[in-house]
Structure 1
């Protein structure tokens, strides 16, 4: 893991087309701005993990249907 220190208004770049800027720091809360191409999905980690779990459940459902249809 790369650890960086940034102040309000400072940014980091990821590749050529993603920029993350520290917008504000208030106590233990940090507000970030993310500038990325529209085709890049951006989610909070807990939302991302929930999406992954739902995709696994859906994939298992499709496998069950395929097994049923093959008989």
Structure 2
């Protein structure tokens, strides 16, 4: 893990197209601004993990038989 210290209004550059900027520091909260291409998904970690869990649960609910029935209907 790379650990960096930044001050207010300083940035971190990731590759050529992602910039993370310190926008504000208020008590124990740090507000970040993230400038990245639209195709890059950006989520808070807890949201990302919830999405992964929902995707996993949805994939578990698909049986081979239901997939075969779906494909038969399409033909």
Give the unaligned 5+ runs of structure 2. Answer: 69-75
Q: CA RMSD in A?
A: 1.3
Could you tell me how far apart the structure 2 residues matched to 1:54 and 1:61 are? Answer: 11
Give the unaligned 5+ runs of structure 1. Answer: none
Could you tell me how far apart the structure 2 residues matched to 1:31 and 1:11 are? Answer: 12
Could you tell me how far apart the structure 2 residues matched to 1:49 and 1:39 are? Answer: 19
- The correspondence of residues 1-71 of structure 1 with structure 2, limited to 5 A, is 1-62=1-62, 64=63, 66-67=64-65
Count of residues paired in the alignment? 68
TM-score, normalization by structure 1: 0.89
Q: Which one has the largest radius of gyration?
A: 2
